[in-house]
Amino acid sequence: MKKLTKKILLIATIILVLFVSFFLVFDMVIMPSMVEAPEVKMPNVVGIDKEEAKIILNDLSLTPIEVGPRYDSRFKEGEVIFQKPYEGVVVKKNRRVYIHISGGEPLIQMPQLVNKTLRAAEVSLGNIGLFVGRVEESRSELPNGTIVEQEFDFGYKLEKGDSVDLKISIGPQIGMVRVPNLIAKSEKEAEKILAAYPPDRLRGKAACLAQIEDAMKEGIAPEDLLQAVHAYATDSASFSRSKVCFSDNWFQARRWLPYVAKHAEDRERAAALQADHHARLVCWISDRSPMCKHITAPQVTALLASKLVTQAQIQAAGLRS
């Protein structure tokens, strides 16, 4: 019996020693070789061509993932404008590196110039980086000097510095019957804008309407002028009688300009925030991150419409359009 007990203890001791030895070898030798990978320091690839950036990252055994394009006037088309992980971060080899690519100068939307004067068209185009090209004369029922045709339709995308050919009216032919045009629409928009001005400060209606129509001829959108009037009405609601500005002076002094400029800045800021948010969503989708579950259907639709991701990437991330 004693011999059997000793034999069992010996076997148990051997098994325990073998188990402990295996655990130590697995923990100190096998696991580190499986888990630990060589590390590298992230280089800075912002501002260089995407192909050169890919070569640099590949040489470090990193995996570049291209995102974009995003329009950014600070970078030439094809240059990297943003990278993640950032420069100087220590990462393991084979790590994915997202590089956001510039599409160059943002494209400019062609404004509506028909029914405007040539001078107003020059101002409108100049304000957004475009120029008037060849100007031809044409018989039209529209008033003399009014634009009757533009080379590119409203909304067409152009590059900064492009020129736009125009046709201007030299008046109708003898016997031509003048048909209704959009001048009445402009007058109605001016009436609507003026009607939004605080009623206790209205003065010189005719002069105000003329100033509003001149502003619209310069290319200021009616909705921007209306928003400016609403903003001023809100800002000045608590003003005393001595501090308020009557409508004729307000429009004459073009006091709507700061409001229109701020509204434009707000739109640009909102567009930039949306672009950054979309870039983050693209990273999630490209990486098939668990965070994809927070991406909504409208966001997926917006990403597909802007061609930041493909339908295949959406499906691979487990999302539905």
What digits encode the pLDDT tens for the residues 63-75?
999 887 877 778 8
Look at residue 309 and tell me if it is in a domain: yes
Instruction: Examine residue 203 and state whether it is found in any structural domain, yes or no.
Output: no
Instruction: Provide φ and ψ at 22, rounded to 5°.
Output: -65, -40
Domain membership of residue 136 (yes or no) is yes
Final residue belonging to a domain, choices 102, 131, 150: 102
What's the half-sphere exposure (Cβ side, CA atoms, 13 Å) at 222? 15
- C-beta separation of 259 from 236 below 8 A: no
CA 242 to chain centre: 43
pLDDT at 269: 81
Write down which residue in 57, 85, 102 finishes a domain.
102
Q: How many domains does the chain have?
A: 3
Asked whether residue 202 is domain-assigned, the answer is no
Listed in sequence order, the residues at least 6 apart from 256 whose beta carbon sits closer than 8 Å to its beta carbon are 215, 225, 228, 229, 232, 250
Note whether residue 59 is domain-resident: yes
CB 154 within 8 A of CB 182: no
Can you tell me the distance from the alpha carbon of 51 to that of 40, in angstroms, rounded to the nearest whole number?
20
Same domain membership, residue 128 and residue 81: no
**48 domain-assigned:** yes
Distance from chain centroid for Cα 291: 22
C-alpha torsion angle, residues 300, 301, 307, 313 (rounded to 10): 40
Burial label, 102 (beta-carbon count in 10 A; 0-12, 13-18, 19+): buried
Asked whether residue 93 falls in the same domain as residue 112, the answer is no
Closest by CA position to 50, among listed 74, 66, 71 = 66
Torsion of CA 136, 137, 143, 149, to 10 degrees: -40
Q: What CATH number is given to the structural domain containing 120?
A: 3.30.10.20
Q: What is the pLDDT of residue 193?
A: 92
CB-based contacts of 72, cutoff 8 Å, min separation 6: 81, 102, 103, 104, 106
What pLDDT is stored for residue 183 in this prediction? 54
Residues 88 and 136 in one domain: no
Residues 116 and 161 in one domain: yes
DSSP class of 27: I
- Which domain range does residue 306 map to? 263-316
pLDDT of 53 reads 94
93 and 114 housed in the same domain: no
Same domain for 127 and 113: yes
- Tell me, yes or no, whether 70 lies in a domain: yes
25 domain-assigned: no
- Rg over alpha carbons for the chain, rounded to the nearest Å, is 33
Q: Within the chain, which residues score under 70 in pLDDT?
A: 1-10, 12, 17, 19-20, 22-37, 172-185, 321
Task: Give the pair of three-digit tokens for residue 285.
Answer: 């989708």
Single residue among 132, 160, 177 that ends a domain in this structure: 177
Whether 119 and 172 share a structural domain: yes
